[in-house]
A and B are shown apart, each in its own frame.
Chain A
Amino acid sequence: GESVGLHLPTLSVQEGDNSIINCAYSNSASDYFIWYKQESGKGPQFIIDIRSNMDKRQGQRVTVLLNKTVKHLSLQIAATQPGDSAVYFCAENKNQAGTALIFGKGTTLSVSS
């Protein structure tokens, strides 16, 4: 079965809105969660990560929330811009070098002006 997945395959927002992308995971043993952005024709690009001993982490315009009780991960993007349009994947890992990243299916974010 799939360890990490996303609730919605697509999300459409207006420029300037806040976006929330959700992910559910099933492996309680995972220690580390990452959000990647993938633009068309490119490889996944690291956005932000969070360890299992945290419940919130903020970056520039992005916030990741981790709810271990319900095994839920979310990515919040503030003031979404057209350049944010991409596919967003959550991924999990045991936070050990050399171990596999397990990706979810991805959410396509479309930002209209």
Chain B
Amino acid sequence: EPEVTQTPSHQVTQMGQEVILRCVPISNHLYFYWYRQILGQKVEFLVSFYNNEISEKSEIFDDQFSVERPDGSNFTLKIRSTKLEDSAMYFCASSGPSGRAGEQFFGPGTRLTVL
């Protein structure tokens, strides 16, 4: 069964450093998303991406964040200058053209720890 994959599973970085989180969405999916989950809290939407453009973004997704689809398979989230409060699980998700519009498939997540 196809699935969303994410690398790395755990990233530790120093405050102020740049990090890139990587995702490989399900191959025939066209819509890609990033969410984050601070420990013990609910999952929060960051951004959605379609046709090489951001479709929707939340207030959390400020100028420190960017997304890119550098090739036909990868989807990345970059945080330019990490802050302590960026520590969270980051989930990538994708959804396809033929499935229910809201049915998004999630990857296993990357745990980001900012020291």
A43-B42 in contact given A98-B48, A98-B56, A101-B102 (Cβ < 8 Å) = no
Q: Is A27 part of the contact surface with B, judged by Cβ < 8 Å?
A: no
Determine the chain B residues whose CB is within 8 A of the CB of A89 once the complex forms. 42-43
**Nearest CB on A from B24, distance (A):** 14
Q: Is A25 part of the contact surface with B, judged by Cβ < 8 Å?
A: no
B74-115 interface code vs A (CB 8 A; 1 in, 0 out): 000000000000000001010101001111111111000000
**Chain A, interface SS category:** loop
A41-66 interface code vs B (CB 8 A; 1 in, 0 out): 11111100100000000000000000
Taking a contact as CB atoms under 8 Å apart, the answer to whether A98 and B105 are in contact is: no
Q: Is A113 part of the contact surface with B, judged by Cβ < 8 Å?
A: no
Determine the chain B residues whose CB is within 8 A of the CB of A20 once the complex forms. none
Determine the chain B residues whose CB is within 8 A of the CB of A93 once the complex forms. 101-102
Report the count of interface residues on B (CB-CB < 8 A): 30
CA distance A79 to B50 in the complex (A): 41
Q: Is B58 part of the contact surface with A, judged by Cβ < 8 Å?
A: yes
The 5 closest A-B pairs by CB, nearest first: A43-B106, A93-B102, A100-B45, A98-B55, A103-B43
Other than the given A95-B101, A98-B48, A103-B44, 5 more pairs (CB < 8 A) read A34-B103, A43-B109, A89-B42, A94-B102, A98-B49
List 18 A–B pairs whose Cβ atoms lie within 8 Å, in order of A's numbering.
A41-B109, A43-B91, A43-B93, A44-B43, A45-B106, A93-B101, A93-B102, A95-B102, A97-B50, A98-B49, A98-B50, A98-B56, A100-B45, A100-B56, A101-B43, A101-B104, A102-B45, A105-B42
